[in-house]
Amino acid sequence: MDITRTELASLGEFGLINHINSRFSLQNPESIKGIGDDAAVIAQDATHYTLLSTDMLVEGVHFDLSYTPLPHLGFKAVAVNVSDIAAMYGIPKQIVIGLAVSNRFSVEAIDAFYEGVKAACDTFKVDLIGGDTTSSRSGLVISISVVGVTEHDKVVYRNTAKPTDIVCVTGDLGAAYLGLQVLEREKQVYMQDPSMQPELTGREYILQRQLRPSARMDIIHELREMSVVPTAMIDVSDGVASDILHICKQSNVGVALFEDKIPIDATAYDTALELKLDPITCALNGGEDYELLFTIQQSDYEKIKNHADISLIGYIQEAAKGNELVTKSGNRIALQAQGWVHF
Ligand code: ADP
Ligand code: MG
């Protein structure tokens, strides 16, 4: 009898995915790309690929209903899926929604959740085409899968970055993490003294980044109009440090990121200092930004350089040079991923 027991914590989330992946190989020629990117890629016709991705949100792990409005949760659940299609340079088309819900919920609560789903469907022009509903004895579980489409020559993977490519990121980083820290702090205060009113004014931006993030389909449409096809791309779900390292590892390259180029919103910056956190660490490792992190060829630099919502934060280098963060004082230190620990 085999009595070996390996703790999930010993593998971590990415180790577990690699472990699962190592036991499977693709059998169908229509399966173009399996495990390992933001979405799977499936043959569709002579010119197009179908993209497929799934993401799950679990109450108590990914969201806390004591401070999460249900319409925001519905919007976010769709947006995080759409973000994975964006990260392939794809256009989202359809979603299906699996819900496990307890009798704690009323019809009105479900309606509120679907109000947010509908807002996201309208924003991203996706159709809700099905799903599954079941009861839950613990919390709310939301599982959404999204189908998208892209042209054969316009699918962008994580494993195709090349030395000298420029590293770009959209929007700003770390605000969603700091929004969460503020919500958690105010929850603790309220639980100790329910007469206390939460101090959230002035922090609307970072709270919205946590509670109702969007997906950067606007950027995908703009890049398509400018005929800029990134050389590699991922969406920032775990933190830019962790996510650039996915690109580097899979592309077999190294990277240099410049600390002073990392985009941080002013409210996020001030909130970090107030909470005695390092703003740069929050921006690099916070996660849940749902911005796009991509690499472009130097020849596309002119098209991108003046874009108000795209920051050029570093460059790809040979793997032998490693993964580096160039600090404000010019020191080169190892870029490390803290990311999220799930187990
Ligand atoms: P993302 O953050 O972009 O959603 P993940 O880190 O969740 O990506 O997943 C990375 C890759 O691993 C994806 O290709 C995903 O489909 C695959 N994956 C994740 N969990 C599993 C699982 N339990 N079984 C098979 N594949 C998985
Ligand atoms: Mg992703």
Cβ(237) to ligand 1 under 6 A? yes
Q: What residue owns the CA closest to ligand 1's atom 6?
A: 14
Q: Are residues 65 and 142 in the same domain?
A: yes
Cβ within 8 Å of residue 91, ≥6 positions away: 85, 148, 149, 150, 217, 220
* Tally of structural domains, the chain: 2
Q: Ligand 1 centroid vs 74 CA: distance in angstroms?
A: 21
The count of residues in the chain is: 343
Residue 240's CATH number: 3.90.650.10
Q: Are residues 76 and 178 in the same domain?
A: no
pLDDT at 1: 63
Question: Which residue, 117, 151, 185, sits at the end of a domain?
Answer: 151
Q: Are residues 62 and 110 in the same domain?
A: yes
**How do the pLDDT tens digits run along the chain, 343 residues long?**
667 898 999 998 889 999 999 999 999 999 999 999 999 999 999 999 999 999 999 999 999 999 999 999 999 999 999 999 999 999 999 999 999 999 889 999 999 999 999 999 999 999 999 999 999 998 999 999 999 999 999 999 999 999 999 999 999 999 999 999 999 999 998 888 888 777 788 899 999 999 999 999 999 999 999 999 999 999 999 999 999 999 999 999 999 999 999 999 999 999 999 999 999 999 999 999 999 999 999 999 999 999 999 999 999 999 999 999 999 999 999 998 875 455 5
Q: Are residues 140 and 235 in the same domain?
A: no
Cβ(35) to ligand 1 under 6 A? yes
Question: Which residue, 102, 117, 151, sits at the end of a domain?
Answer: 151
Give domain status of residue 157, yes or no.
no
Q: What residue owns the CA closest to ligand 1's atom 19?
A: 17
Cβ(273) to ligand 1 under 6 A? no
Q: Are residues 132 and 222 in the same domain?
A: no
Q: What residue owns the CA closest to ligand 1's atom 21?
A: 17
Cβ(145) to ligand 1 under 6 A? no
Q: Which atom of ligand 1 is nearest to the CA of 53?
A: 16
Give burial (CB, 10 Å; 0-12/13-18/19+) of 77: buried
> 56 vs 53, 107, 221, CA distance in Å?
11, 22, 26
Ligand 1 pocket test: pick from 13, 17, 20, 80 the residue with the most ligand atoms within 8 Å of its Cβ: 17
Residue 65's CATH number: 3.30.1330.10
pLDDT at 199: 77
Which one of the ligands is nearest to 291 CA? 2
pLDDT at 338: 78
pLDDT at 208: 97
pLDDT at 173: 98
User: Rounded to whole angstroms, how far apart are CA atoms 330 and 212?
Assistant: 36
Owning domain of residue 117: 8-151
pTM for the model? 0.95
